[in-house]
């Protein structure tokens, strides 16, 4: 042996591997604080803008906004009512939140929608905070902007429905579990269990199923399922979730003598998943809904799935986060695709994971100096925008009952997006970078929503919501009963501030006609012949406007 020589450090590679496997926490510096403030403020500006500029959409928003109003009016905060009849559907957390907002701000559209807007904004901020701890500030900014501007997420955050609150609680729970396990921070573990309890109180057992499924497959792929199970302490966690959710469920089942158990837990959950209850669509429906609702950023996902949807050694913090996001995205997509009943917003809890994946994918491409996948996206947007400019009038004309004025809004938005996409494509080829172009495109999308959104929405509302709403409000100023015939408008009692009579079809009208006294009737104009055939001379049209009419049922002589 040569004098002064030392033995090789055989343990060095092992120690190096340990350092790579352990994700060290990052300090939250002032730059992160500024960027977070900008992201969160932009989300609030986008989601809270013009919440009160259009009536409640029927039926979805009214199914939650009106029970919240009746909750305050009736003083009944356990069982929910719709049109003053018991309605057994979702747990009441969102309805409680809306009822509280009504107490503070009045029963308005803005108050009904503010909880969704707040949840959407918080989740955008949470996405930024998680990504900046495991990747870079630039990647975190991209992820937040991708989520903020994803069309389905953006639209749902401005509606009084339960899907965005569920996304916040499910994704917030998953984020907290991931961060807690990687950093061994027990406070985040208990936060995760609490958020999961709120998820159950938002939409029921589906919150638990989604979170457990994602964690199971993530740790199974990571080959640390047993250590993770011991760390999460599921028995104690179940007690936390139960302490939040079980008191209301048990009391509701008790006071309804078991009816709620069948109506919600059996019909709304088990039967809706396993058999045809309603909302039946083909197996590929949620693939189209999720990736279409995440456009254009879903075009960035294939490369990200290829890179992160598999374990690798040594694994970096970004790779761990990428694997977790990939598992979250795919598990939620496959879970809802396996359900028989499907609805457009069901996969929203996967959108933050999609945003993280897309941002990590862009960062990976930049590090490897591979720009062509994103440039292909820009080129595809240019081509789509040009096609939209020429085809919009034809497409709108082919859609049943779609206002032709919408074509002009599509042409304007397509022209702007196509122009920015073309500039972004040229800029990325000249500057050899992608981030400024992607941020510019997402900023344009925010601008379109904030400044052009109200006009586009009003095109739909003018015929479908504003006209029948004006009829309801007119009739509500009288003492006459209000009858809604063959139109699903559960918002009617919200604006009438009293019960309305709903007659769903012609046989029901024939049965009710002999007992109907003087009343105002709201129906579509094409129902005029059948109403005349049933009501005869008692049927008098007062106003026709667009597709709807306000008529009066006159009192039968002798009644």
Is the pLDDT score of 314 beyond 70? no
Are the C-beta atoms of residues 144 and 355 closer than 8 Å to each other?
yes
Q: Which residue has the tokens 């009066």?
A: 552
- Residue 514 in this model has a pLDDT that exceeds 90: no
pLDDT digits (tens, 9 = 90+) for 418-442: 777 777 777 777 777 777 778 877 7
Confidence of residue 413 (pLDDT cuts 50, 70, 90): low
Rounded to whole angstroms, how far apart are CA atoms 265 and 268?
6
Mean pLDDT is lowest, of 134-138, 342-346, 404-408, 524-528, for 404-408
Task: Please state, for a pLDDT cut of 90, what percent of the chain lies above it.
Answer: 34
In this prediction, residue 427 carries a pLDDT of: 76
Lowest mean pLDDT among 113-127, 137-151, 528-542: 528-542
Supply the pLDDT for residue 408: 57
| Residue 307 buriedness (CB in 10 A; 0-12 / 13-18 / 19+) | buried
Distances (CA, A) of 445 to 47, 397, 416, 441, 453: 13, 25, 9, 6, 10
Q: What are phi and psi of 514, to 5 degrees?
A: -60, -25
The C-alpha atoms of residue 136 and residue 114 are separated, in whole angstroms, by 31
Q: Which residues of 83-111 are buried (b: 16+ CB within 10 A; e: fewer)?
A: beeebbbbbbbbbbbbbebbeeeebebbb
Spatial distance between the Cα atoms of 434 and 139, rounded to a whole number of angstroms: 11
Q: 399 or 536: which carries more pLDDT confidence?
A: 536
Q: Note whether 432 and 366 are within 8 A (CB).
A: no
What is the C-alpha to C-alpha distance for residues 463 and 468, in angstroms, rounded to an integer? 8
Average pLDDT over residues 386-415: 63
Give the pLDDT confidence of 80-114 residue by residue, as tens digits. Answer: 999 999 887 788 999 999 999 999 999 999 999 99
Residues 356-364, mean pLDDT to the nearest whole number: 90
pLDDT of 170 strictly over 60: yes
- On the question of pLDDT at 276 being above 70, the answer is no
What H or E segment, with its residue span, contains residue 308?
A: helix 301-308
Q: How far apart are CA 376 and CA 425, in angstroms?
A: 8
Token readout for 65 is 């906004």
- 403: burial class by Cβ within 10 Å (0-12, 13-18, 19+)? middle
Global pTM reads: 0.86
- CB within 8 Å of 255: residues ≥ 6 apart: 78, 79
Decide if pLDDT at 150 tops 70. Answer: yes
């Amino acid at each position: 042996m040569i004098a002064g020589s030392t033995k090789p450090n055989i343990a060095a590679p092992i120690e190096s591997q340990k350092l790579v496997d352990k994700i060290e926490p990052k300090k939250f510096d002032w730059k992160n604080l500024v960027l977070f403030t900008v992201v969160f403020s932009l989300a609030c500006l986008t989601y809270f803008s013009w919440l009160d500029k259009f009536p409640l959409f029927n039926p979805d928003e009214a199914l939650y906004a009106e029970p919240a109003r009746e909750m305050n009016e009736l003083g009944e905060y356990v069982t929910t009512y719709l049109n003053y009849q018991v309605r057994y559907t979702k747990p009441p957390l969102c309805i409680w939140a809306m009822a509280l907002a009504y107490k503070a701000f009045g029963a308005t559209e803005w108050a009904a929608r503010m909880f969704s807007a707040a949840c959407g904004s918080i989740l955008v901020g949470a996405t930024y905070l998680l990504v900046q701890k495991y990747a870079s500030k630039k990647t975190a900014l991209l992820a937040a902007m991708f989520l903020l501007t994803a069309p389905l997420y953006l639209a749902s955050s401005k509606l009084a429905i339960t899907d965005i609150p569920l996304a916040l609680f499910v994704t917030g729970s998953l984020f907290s579990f991931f961060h807690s396990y990687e950093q061994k921070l027990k406070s985040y573990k208990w936060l995760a269990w609490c958020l999961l309890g709120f998820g159950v109180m938002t939409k029921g057992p589906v919150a638990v199923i989604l979170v457990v499924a994602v964690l199971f497959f993530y740790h199974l792929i990571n080959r640390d399922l047993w250590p993770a199970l011991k760390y999460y302490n599921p028995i104690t966690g179940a007690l936390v979730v139960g302490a939040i959710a079980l008191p209301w469920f048990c009391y509701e089942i008790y006071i309804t003598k078991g009816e709620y158990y069948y109506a919600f837990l059996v019909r709304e959950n088990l039967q809706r998943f396993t058999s045809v209850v309603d909302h039946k669509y083909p197996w590929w429906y949620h693939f189209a809904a999720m990736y279409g609702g995440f456009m254009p950023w879903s075009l960035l996902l294939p490369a990200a799935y290829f890179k992160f949807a598999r374990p690798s050694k040594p694994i970096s913090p970004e790779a761990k986060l990428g694997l977790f996001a990939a598992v979250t995205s795919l598990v939620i997509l496959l879970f809802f695709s396996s359900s028989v009943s499907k609805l457009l917003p069901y996969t929203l809890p996967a959108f933050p994971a999609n945003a993280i994946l897309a941002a990590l994918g862009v960062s990976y491409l930049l590090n490897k100096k591979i720009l062509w996948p994103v440039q292909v996206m820009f080129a595809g947007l240019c081509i789509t925008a040009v096609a939209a400019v020429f085809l919009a009038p034809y497409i709108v004309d082919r859609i049943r009952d779609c206002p032709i004025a919408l074509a002009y809004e599509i042409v304007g938005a397509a022209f702007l997006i196509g122009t920015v996409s073309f500039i972004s494509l040229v800029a990325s080829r000249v500057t050899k970078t992608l981030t400024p172009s992607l941020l510019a495109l997402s900023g344009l999308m925010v601008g379109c929503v904030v400044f052009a959104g109200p006009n586009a929405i009003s095109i739909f509302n003018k015929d479908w919501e504003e006209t029948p709403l004006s009829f309801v409000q007119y009739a509500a100023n009288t003492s006459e009963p209000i009858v809604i015939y063959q139109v699903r408008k559960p918002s009617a009692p919200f604006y009438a501030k009293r019960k309305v009579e709903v007659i769903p079809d012609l046989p029901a009208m024939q049965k009710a006609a002999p007992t109907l006294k003087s009343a105002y009737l709201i129906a579509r104009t094409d129902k005029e012949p059948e109403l005349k055939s049933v009501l005869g001379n008692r049927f008098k049209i007062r106003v026709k406007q667009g597709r709807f009419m306000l008529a009066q049922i006159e009192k039968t002589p002798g009644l």
